[in-house]
């Protein structure tokens, strides 16, 4: 990948408006009534694409194509042949790395350094992992005693669920979409994907890859649109969709759950977070500062795993806040294709209003804005983007809304603590339970706390270090179920037991 090439492509993109169509039954098609919406580049506010907006009929077309594919070539294909195809999808994403990178950056404005290290490689890695894993999944069997002495043999088989509806957010579009599509396809299902309306690009491009490697028509389908009253809701209500896998806000998860309840369909939900980072005085200070700077500001704070509540042992509190403030001041905003840019914009002007609202609320709730708290002064064209300042807050009560509610921006509140018990109590005082980061060199303390913090994932002296085989998910309103490794296989396939009397 050459950065010069990417840079000039960004300039070209500014003048060339893309067309993102629906991908149904292996073909790019317009929405049935020709409806479209605009896809905006959050770096400069320019329209980058017109996107076909699916209605109920289009969603039905996609679901029917996916259903037909289940009983066609795909449904009959052997496991190894199917998984070979998915390995080729991974290879082809890497072959077309620059195109995925450009599409992802155009939609999100995230810095190239982040997108090329995280988003696109993970898109490929998700397919590679599940192609390998499903080849090696054993099934249970039991020899059962019977009164006649001949016994019985019980064995389990796995079958796909059918058509899986995949509803995705905008923050890590390719990564989070393939995190669900790859295991769903590896288990033999077909999918209808509803990408976020903010980030339709990479899901659309993936359709080309599916065709190039020979994934049969109808296995991977993409319907664009919005949530309520649009493609998202239509997918959740479709009677031929067997399961819904969703990543997004907790409130949206609740709305989807109500919609699927009548059909008693399985759901897998990866939802919001209000994640704590705990920094003890015995931590490696500079590693903790770097780690918390990363876990607060990465992807402009738009990772569900970001730390928005930072608890620091009182003896190092002032020094820590000063050092974190210094890190915030060094973040550079601007052209995402420049290697020197380290922070992108928020996803949209609408989301910026929400984040700025929380900055204002922090002041109203009596907090101190140590740094940031507003919109940065940037030259054109970035002044038309959705940039906000990285922000550090102190002095808020633990009951303040800013400390309780997910902001999803580059902001944290830093609170001092005097004891491990106090830090633990504050960390757990939330409805959310996605992840935590612990910074300490006392390993007994680290393990003790990891067992007591009520979250799905605890990082000790690290953050976002991922092994895709591990269970991933949240407690409380941060999610339902676990994905990753065998946990994804357990969601995307159904176990059936066969009992043979011998």
For the annotated catalytic residues, the residue numbers are 270, 304
The partner in contact with residue 391, picked from ligand NAD, ligand 6OD, none with C-beta cut-offs of 5 to 8 angstroms by kind, is none
DSSP string, 142-200: EEE--TTSS-EEEEEEEEE-SEEEEE--SSSHHHHHHHHHHHHHHTT-EEEEE--TT--
Q: Does 401 bind ligand 6OD (CB under 6 A)?
A: no
In the set 63, 133, 172, 209, which binds ligand 6OD (CB under 6 A)?
A: 172
Using a 10 angstrom Cβ sphere, with 0-12 exposed, 13-18 middle and 19 or more buried, the burial of residue 274 is buried
- Going by DSSP bridges, is the β-strand pair 275-279/241-247 parallel, antiparallel, or unpaired? unpaired
Q: Which is nearer to ligand NAD, 175 or 288 (CB)?
A: 175
Residue 300 zone, left/alpha/beta (φ > 0; ψ -120 to 50; rest): left
Q: Which is nearer to ligand NAD, 188 or 456 (CB)?
A: 456
The token pair that represents 74 in the structure block: 């795909």
Q: Does 472 bind ligand 6OD (CB under 6 A)?
A: yes
CB of 106 to ligand 6OD, least distance (A): 19
Q: Which stretch binds ligand 6OD (CB under 6 A): 4-12, 14-22, 171-179, 411-419?
A: 171-179
Q: Which is nearer to ligand NAD, 357 or 366 (CB)?
A: 357
Alpha helices in 348-442 (DSSP H): 349-364, 401-404, 420-428
Strand arrangement, sheet containing 22-24 = 27-29, 22-24, 220-222, 190-194, 163-167, 241-247, 267-270, 479-480
The partner in contact with residue 155, picked from ligand 6OD, ligand NAD, none with C-beta cut-offs of 5 to 8 angstroms by kind, is none
Q: Does 303 bind ligand 6OD (CB under 6 A)?
A: yes
Q: Which stretch binds ligand 6OD (CB under 6 A): 40-48, 138-146, 202-210, 301-309?
A: 301-309
Q: Does 304 bind ligand 6OD (CB under 6 A)?
A: yes
The partner in contact with residue 255, picked from ligand NAD, ligand 6OD, none with C-beta cut-offs of 5 to 8 angstroms by kind, is ligand NAD
CB atoms within 10 A of CB 150: 9
The residues in 218-277 that bind ligand 6OD, with binding defined as CB under 6 A, are 270
Q: Which stretch binds ligand 6OD (CB under 6 A): 106-114, 281-289, 303-311, 364-372?
A: 303-311
Closest CA to 409 of 327, 320, 347, 333: 347
Binding residue count for ligand 6OD, defined by CB under 6 A: 10
DSSP letter assigned to residue 430: S
Which residues are near ligand NAD by CB under 6 A? 167-171, 176, 194, 196-197, 226-228, 232-233, 236, 247-249, 252, 255-256, 270-273, 304, 406, 408, 434, 474, 479
Q: Does 300 bind ligand 6OD (CB under 6 A)?
A: no
The partner in contact with residue 466, picked from ligand NAD, ligand 6OD, none with C-beta cut-offs of 5 to 8 angstroms by kind, is ligand 6OD
CA–CA dist 200, 447 (Å, integer): 41
Q: Residues 97, 1: contact at Cβ < 8 Å? A: yes
Q: Between the CA of residue 333 and those of 173, 376, 383, 471, 473, what are the distances in Å? A: 21, 9, 11, 34, 31
CB of 454 to ligand NAD, least distance (A): 15
Task: Write out the residues near ligand 6OD by the rule CB under 6 A.
Answer: 171-172, 176, 179, 270, 303-305, 466, 472
């Amino acid at each position: 990948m050459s950065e010069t090439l990417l840079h000039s492509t960004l300039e070209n993109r500014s003048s060339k408006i893309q067309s993102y169509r629906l991908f149904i039954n292996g073909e790019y098609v317009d929405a049935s009534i020709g409806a479209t919406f605009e896809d905006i580049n959050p770096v400069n506010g320019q329209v980058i694409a017109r996107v076909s907006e699916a209605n109920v009929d289009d969603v039905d077309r996609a679901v029917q194509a996916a259903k037909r594919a289940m009983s066609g070539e795909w449904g009959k294909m052997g496991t190894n042949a199917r998984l070979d195809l998915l390995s080729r999808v991974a290879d082809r994403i890497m072959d077309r790395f620059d195109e995925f990178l450009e599409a992802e950056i155009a939609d999100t404005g995230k810095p190239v350094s982040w997108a090329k290290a995280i988003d696109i490689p993970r898109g490929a890695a998700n397919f590679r992992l599940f192609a390998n894993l499903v080849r090696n999944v054993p099934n249970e069997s039991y020899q059962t005693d019977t009164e006649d002495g001949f016994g019985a043999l019980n064995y389990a088989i796995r079958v796909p669920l059918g058509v899986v509806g995949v509803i995705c957010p905008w923050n890590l579009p390719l990564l989070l979409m393939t995190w669900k599509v790859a295991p769903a396809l590896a288990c033999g299902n077909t999918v209808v994907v509803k990408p976020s309306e903010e980030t339709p690009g990479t899901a659309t491009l993936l359709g080309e890859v599916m065709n190039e490697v020979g994934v049969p028509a109808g296995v991977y389908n993409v319907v664009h649109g919005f949530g309520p009253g649009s493609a998202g809701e239509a997918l959740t209500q479709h009677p031929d969709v067997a399961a819904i896998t969703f990543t997004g806000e907790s409130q949206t998860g609740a709305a989807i759950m109500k919609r699927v309840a009548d059909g008693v369909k399985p759901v897998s939900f990866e939802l919001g977070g209000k994640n704590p980072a705990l920094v003890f005085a015995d931590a490696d200070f500079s590693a903790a500062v770097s780690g918390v700077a990363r876990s607060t500001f990465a992807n402009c704070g738009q990772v569900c795993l970001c730390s928005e509540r930072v608890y620091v042992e009182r003896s190092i509190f002032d020094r820590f806040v000063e050092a974190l403030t210094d890190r915030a001041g060094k973040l550079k905003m601007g052209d995402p294709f420049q290697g020197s840019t380290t922070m992108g914009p928020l996803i949209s002007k609408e989301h910026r209003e929400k984040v700025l609202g929380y900055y204002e609320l922090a002041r109203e709730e009596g907090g101190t804005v140590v740094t940031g708290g507003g919109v940065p002064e940037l030259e054109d064209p970035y002044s038309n983007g959705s940039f906000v300042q990285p922000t550090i807050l102190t002095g808020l009560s633990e009951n303040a809304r800013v400390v309780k509610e997910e902001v999803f921006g580059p902001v944290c509140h830093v609170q001092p603590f005097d004891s491990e018990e106090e830090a633990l109590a504050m960390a757990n005082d939330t409805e959310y339970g996605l992840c935590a980061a612990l910074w300490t060199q006392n390993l007994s303390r680290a393990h003790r706390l990891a067992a007591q913090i009520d979250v799905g994932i605890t990082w000790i002296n690290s953050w976002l270090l991922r092994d895709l085989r591990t269970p991933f998910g949240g407690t409380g309103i941060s999610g339902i179920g676990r994905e990753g490794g065998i946990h994804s296989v357990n969601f995307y396939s159904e176990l059936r037991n066969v009992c043979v009397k011998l």
